[in-house]
Amino acid sequence: MVKKTYSYFPNGIDDWETMGDNKSNDLVLLLHGMDCGPQTVGNLANSVLNVWRSKKASSCFILIPHLPFHWKDSADLKKLSEEIVKHLNTLLLSKSINSFTIIGHSAGGVLAQSIFMISRNNGELGKILPANIRLVLISPLNQGWEISHHLPLSKKISWSAGKILIPLLSILEYIRAKCASRERRPLWIMQLQRGSPFLTWLRLQWLESKHTAPTVVQLLGSIDEIVSWRDMVDMVSGERFLYLNVPHSDHVTILNFDESTGLGQRRREIFEQSLTIEADEQEQTIQPWDVSLPPIEPQVERVVFVIHGIRDEGHWTQKIGLNARKIFVSENIGTKSEIAIITSSYGYFSMLEFLKYGKRMEKIHWLTNKYVEARRRYPNAKFSYIAHSNGTYLLAHALENYPDMNFERVIFAGSVVSFKYNWQKIVERYKRQQQNTNDENQLGEMRVLNFTATFDWVVGLLPMIADIFPLNWLFGPNLGGAGVIPFKSQDVEGGDSKIGSHSAAIQEDNWEFLAKFAVIDGPSPEIKKDDSTFRDDRTFPFTEPAIYFICPLVILLLLTIILFYLPYLAWTNLYLFWGVPIILLFVSGITVALLESSLAHLPIDERLKKRRHTKIILLITIAAILVWFFGIVGFLIYSDLWHDYYTGQGLRTISVATYFYVISKILTKV
């Protein structure tokens, strides 16, 4: 069945409000914000007409569409922009235009930018010179919204409650689309969340249009309680915008032009100023940030991202970066100033956080922001990406959902991406984009290399379970065990497995190999691997099909122990449950501390050898705890030996509650 294409304006411009002279050659498009309508921008329309009459001795034609901007509405903002542009182009077929002004408030300010980007080289609108186009953005969400500390408590609670309802609204939209046999529309408000694909596309479009940009004026309320300046101001894409401060104005009152007060009159004056101010009138504007952007470096030919994974802060990334720079110079590819290494860290990321889809999305938004910043700073460079563990997931998920992100070289180690990931789609899209570019510096062949390991138990347990069972509803899409089972796609290189565990491929003996693959340009370079560190098979149980059976069993066993067996012990034998592990850990801690202090005077080589004894003690301690858990305590739970020590339920309840608290703390650290 062919799905119907949804129209936001079935009757075209006839569905819109209009003001002014429809014969005028000056066109003004007014766009309202969330939970508003054309009536809320009436003050703006009257001021626009006043400016045209007083300063331009003419009138203008104002169009005000009814936008689907109720908070629970569904609308694809790109398609909404395309439909508005289509209707405007139809209108302009019967009239000529001297100037085009787009004015948008809040969400309408972001839509205004999208309309401009889509209108470039598009029909009649595309024929208007940038010098005759002006955008006036009033408290727009250029960086996107986020629930942060600047929000009042009431707003924070309401926004958080609304965010909880997002899955329900998505389900309702899915049902409506099915019943109407039409395409499914995303929730528009989620497209304005910080780091979203829509906003990333828009930011990259501004970078591409830097030589053909119109005059853009942004009005900022001084006391905006809904959107902070951090949400409204984008230093990267808005570097050339003109900014005007509107005093004593929040997100709503910035539109209040009530002349009974001096504030309303002042707001009107500033808005009218935004309609006429020019780029050379810098003394009337403000700079909303107190730091300077790094200079643009057009000479850089290669940018290499090196991104760490979970339970790691990525100190090793700088060492791989140094190898990449060294090889770039030694292979006569370029000079030191022509390669840039990005080893930024998104901070320590625990296993518990990794299992939360929302937390992973926060890190993806971090990555897309770093990518946009790098695109601005290095406009002529080709991009490479080396990643381990969660760093692989960040890029894979971003490439699938952010089609404007491009990397020519991709290297994954200890990957937690699904081995069913569709690399063919990504590589083919890259080829199409390269064919459409006019920049020879950007041409290249996309290559993807994936390292598996012979004994990667980290990937072989939790991420792998998402590839065995359809658990996207729980863990989110694209999670899996490509660090154990190679990608099925023919577009990915790397068949043999690196001998070792989760971090085997990012050890020092592999740094040069990673760096060469990332920076050597042209046809596929011949990079010889050390056969002694690679094997063409994996260690049992990380082989197929054994892992498909063992992984679920191990997960089930761990869940049974953590959620049922250990809480049962904490309830029935609390003194032994807490006493023995504490004593064992205390004794082992003192022993390890004494050993470490005794090694302080030794040379580094001997110290490393002696530390093996420390590891043995720790292993013996862990083994003793395990024996105690599954042996002695398992026997004691069937006896009444300790019954007299804890009568009553209160102490037992505290014991179990403390156990789960300790487990939660451990999971946030490992």
Compute the average pLDDT of residues 189-211.
92
Residue 72's pLDDT is: 85
Residue 18 has pLDDT above 90, yes or no: yes
State the distance between the two ends of the chain, measured CA to CA, in whole angstroms: 49
Non-local (6+) Cβ contacts of 629 within 8 A are 566, 569
Cis peptide before 603 (omega within 30 of 0): no
What does the pLDDT average to over 607-634? Answer: 59
| Predicted pLDDT at 333 | 92
Residue 2, pLDDT above cutoff 60: no
Distance of CA 71 to the CA centre of its chain: 22
Provide the pLDDT confidence category of residue 403 given band limits of 50, 70 and 90: very high
Whole-number Å distance between alpha carbons of 212 and 351: 46
How much is the pLDDT for 307?
96
Q: Give the residue-averaged pLDDT of 70-84.
A: 92
Beta bridge partners of 341: 304
Q: How far apart are CA 449 and CA 134, in angstroms?
A: 46
- Between 228 and 620, residue with greater pLDDT: 228
**Of 201, 210, 521, 207, which Cα lies nearest the Cα of 382?**
521
Q: How confident is the model at residue 625 (pLDDT cuts 50, 70, 90)?
A: low
CA distances from 628 to 615, 625, 645 (A): 20, 5, 20
**How many Cβ atoms sit within 10 Å of the Cβ of residue 645?**
11
Looking at residues 302-314, what average pLDDT do you find?
A: 92
- Kindly report which listed range (321-330, 346-355, 419-428, 463-472) carries the lowest average pLDDT score: 463-472
What integer pLDDT is reported at residue 638 of this predicted model? 47
* Cβ neighbours of residue 489 closer than 8 Å, sequence gap 6 or more: 421, 422, 423, 424
The Cβ of residue 146 has, within 10 Å, a number of other Cβ atoms equal to: 18
Q: Is the dihedral of CA 187, 188, 194, 196 positive or negative?
A: positive
Per-residue model confidence as pLDDT tens digits over 324-364: 999 999 999 999 999 999 998 998 888 888 888 889 999 99
- Whether a cis peptide bond, with omega within 30° of 0, leads into 545 is yes
Task: Give the mean model confidence (pLDDT) for residues 480-501.
Answer: 87
**H or E element at residue 367:** helix 357-377
User: In this predicted structure, which of 100-109, 214-223, 287-296, 515-524 has the lowest mean pLDDT?
Assistant: 515-524
Residue 644 — very low, low, confident or very high, per pLDDT cuts 50/70/90?
very low
Report DSSP letters for 86-153, one per residue.
HHHHHHHTTS--SEEEEEEETHHHHHHHHHHHHHTTSTTGGGS-GGGEEEEEES--SS-B---TTS-H
Q: Tell me the two tokens of residue 347.
A: 């901070």
* Residue 187, strand partner residues: 74
Q: 325 Cβ partners below 8 Å, 6+ apart? A: 336, 339, 341
Confidence grade of residue 83 (pLDDT, cut at 50, 70, 90): very high
Q: If we measure between CA atoms, which residue out of 314, 214, 246 comes closest to residue 105?
A: 246
User: Where are the alpha helices (H) located in 469-603, listed in sequence order?
Assistant: 472-475, 511-519, 546-560, 566-572, 574-599
Lowest mean pLDDT among 65-69, 390-394, 618-622: 618-622
| Structure confidence at residue 77 (pLDDT) | 95
CB 547 within 8 A of CB 632: no
Q: Express as a percent the part of the chain with pLDDT over 70.
A: 86
Question: Which run of H or E residues covers position 51?
Answer: helix 42-55
Instruction: Name the least confident of 216-220, 432-436, 622-626, 632-636.
Output: 632-636
Comparison of pLDDT for 594 and 230, the residue scoring more: 230
Q: From 598, 599, 615, select the one nearest 607 (Cα to Cα).
A: 599
- Between 259 and 253, the more confident residue is 253
- Provide the token pair at 619: 């292993």
Scanning the structure block, which residue is given the tokens 């000056």? 26
In 600-668, which residue ranges form alpha helices assigned H by DSSP? 604-627, 633-636, 650-667
117-173: per-residue pLDDT in tens?
Answer: 999 888 889 999 999 999 999 999 999 998 877 777 777 888 888 888 888 888 888
Q: Report the pLDDT value the prediction gives residue 116, as an integer from 0 to 100.
A: 96
Instruction: Grade residue 383 by pLDDT with cuts at 50, 70 and 90.
Output: very high
Distance CA 564, CA 646 (A): 20
**How many Cβ atoms sit within 10 Å of the Cβ of residue 432?**
8
Token pair for 203: 């930011």
> What is the pLDDT, as a whole number, of residue 595?
61
Beta-carbon contacts of residue 50 (< 8 Å; ≥ 6 apart): 272
For 198-241, the DSSP string reads: HHHHHHHHHHHTTTS--EEEEEEETT-SSS-HHHH--TTTTTT-
Q: What is the mean pLDDT of residues 467-474?
A: 78
* Residue 67 confidence (pLDDT): 94
